[in-house]
Amino acid sequence: MSRIKDLQKNLFGGTTSNARQFGMIFTLVAIVVLFQILTDGLTLRSDNLIALFNQNSYILILAIGMLMVIVAGHIDLSVGSIAAFTGILVAKSMAEWSLPWPVAILFGLAIGAIIGAWQGFWVAYIGVPAFIVTLAGMLLFRGGNQFIGNANTIAVPEGFRVIGSGFLPEVGPDTGYNNLTLLLGLAACVAVVWREFQARKTRREMDADPAPMWISVLRMAVMVGVIVFASLRFASGRVGTSFPVSGIILVALVLAYSFYTRNTAAGRHIYAVGGNSRAAELSGVKLKRVNFFVMMNMAVLASLAGMIFVARSAASGPQDGNGWELDAIAAVFIGGAAVSGGIGTISGSIVGGLVMAVLNNGLQLLGVGTDRVQIIKGLVLLLAVALDVYNKKQGKFSIIGSLTRSFRRDTPTPPTAPPDAERETARTAVPS
């Protein structure tokens, strides 16, 4: 009894919302295992994993920004068009003004910031609903893309392509692996272990019960095991390939934004605004500034995603960005965000995006046509959200939560979970 309780409380987090997130991770693992069996081991082969990240990093980057927009209680329909608009401008800037590619990337981010400021202004300061502002933006920037590009496809230079289809260089001794990828994996392992001990120390200092040692060890072993497995896979691809550059950009963004949304006051304000904007405002949250920030941030990330896609495609084309907003929004909702705002996590959205990505990839490996893939993805989205809504109506957070209910203490658990980006809680913030 007590061991199960410990495990439930500490490994998957004690709260129901964490159990729900565990449910999503479980689904992801189940899908991966399913396709691994169905495709005869192709799914987890290194070249396929690399391709998976290359193909989806731009959607996952969009999902980060979209999560913050949705948590704040808005929506952004314009991301695909902004990505396309930035893509064509950046491609043209390199082709016609021969801007060096690092400058062109900064130029692209600046365009994103300007567009974001424009949309943020209408949403935050004029009070036009984001749905309308971004619907207008969707038309505006799609038209802008066609206007500037004349609907032509414009190629981008080799150096620029690194951010979309580049790999880490091969350095050091010939170990049979990509050494830099191994180093990254090692760094991740060290970080996980360091954090676990740090969290235990914090809890002791706060006079809270640290999790039993065996749970910490189990948790670390699972995490380190996954990281070791992944880095070996990514490092053992064809010579010249490694963990992709676009994947590194994604991981860096996930870590940074997870920290921001969990551990900073400004980040928690987004949750406060989405949960109850009146209450947040009365508590001193600068409503306009938060709304302006999330819209602007989304546009900058959309620009980055657009550039990564252009780099991967080696050219900017008129079809870029079509339907991306829907993929990003689907990832966020599958990842457990609430339609009404205030609830959701970055890591949840990434897991949601990965569920879609693995589903897509696995079905393609099986040779299922796009028509049927779309039908399946549509049903998965509907079921994932419907399950969530249904469970909330029943007063439970999730099936996992309800199954494990009997193991739980009757008194509420004190909210002393250690800060842990891998297992963020999805609760609404109470502004302090």
Partner 1 sequence: MRKLIGKSMAIGAIAALALTATACGSGRDGDTGGAKGGDTKGFAADSLIGVALPSKTSENWVLAGDLFTNGLKEAGFKSDVQYAGASTTVADQQAQITAMVTKGAKVIVIGATDAAQLSTQVAAAHAAGAKVIAYDRLITNTPDLDYYVAFDNFKVGQLQGQALLDGMKAKKPNGPYNIELFSGSPDDNNAGVFFNGAMDVLKPEIDKGNVVVASKQTDVKQTAIQGWKAEGAQARMDQLLTSTYGNKELDGVLSPNDTLARAIITSIKGAGKKIPVVTGQDSEVESVKSIMAGEQYMTINKDTRNLVKQTIEMVKALQAGNTPEVNDTKSYNNGVKVVDTYLLPPVAVTKANAAEAYANDPKLSPLTK
Residues at the site binding partner 1, with contacts judged by CB under 8 A = 42, 45-48, 51, 54-55, 146, 150-155, 161, 164-165, 175-177, 189, 193, 196, 213-214, 216-217, 220-221, 224-225, 228, 232, 236-240, 309, 312-315, 317-320, 322-324, 327, 360-361, 364-365, 367, 369-371, 373-374
Number of Cα atoms under 13 Å in the Cβ half of residue 425: 17
By C-beta, is 339 or 373 nearer to partner 1?
Answer: 373
CB of 386 to partner 1, least distance (A): 24
By C-beta, is 64 or 363 nearer to partner 1?
Answer: 363
CB of 412 to partner 1, least distance (A): 28
In contact, 231 and 184? CB cutoff 8 Å: yes
CA distance 346 to 367: 31
Q: What are the Cα distances from residue 359, in Å, to 229, 294, 372, 415?
A: 21, 29, 12, 35
Q: How far is CA 57 from the centre of its chain?
A: 9
Rg of the Cα atoms in the chain: 22
CB of 226 to partner 1, least distance (A): 10
In contact, 258 and 417? CB cutoff 8 Å: no
CA distance 264 to 259: 7
CA distance 9 to 3: 10
By C-beta, is 154 or 426 nearer to partner 1?
Answer: 154
CB of 220 to partner 1, least distance (A): 6
Q: How far is CA 175 from the centre of its chain?
A: 32
Neighbours of 118 (CB within 10 A): 16
In the numeric block, which tokens belong to residue 304? 């980055």
By C-beta, is 238 or 392 nearer to partner 1?
Answer: 238
CB of 427 to partner 1, least distance (A): 29
By C-beta, is 176 or 412 nearer to partner 1?
Answer: 176
CB of 86 to partner 1, least distance (A): 16
CA distance 137 to 241: 38
Q: Among residues 247, 186, 190, 219, which one has the least CA distance to residue 46? A: 247
By C-beta, is 21 or 216 nearer to partner 1?
Answer: 216
Neighbours of 150 (CB within 10 A): 9
CB of 366 to partner 1, least distance (A): 9
Helix/strand/coil for 208: coil
CB of 117 to partner 1, least distance (A): 28
By C-beta, is 369 or 415 nearer to partner 1?
Answer: 369
By C-beta, is 240 or 284 nearer to partner 1?
Answer: 240
In contact, 297 and 65? CB cutoff 8 Å: yes
Q: Among residues 423, 426, 416, which one has the least CA distance to residue 200? A: 416
φ, ψ (nearest 5 deg) of residue 349: -65, -40
By C-beta, is 281 or 420 nearer to partner 1?
Answer: 420
Neighbours of 426 (CB within 10 A): 24
In contact, 1 and 406? CB cutoff 8 Å: no
By C-beta, is 126 or 213 nearer to partner 1?
Answer: 213
CB of 384 to partner 1, least distance (A): 20
CB of 203 to partner 1, least distance (A): 13
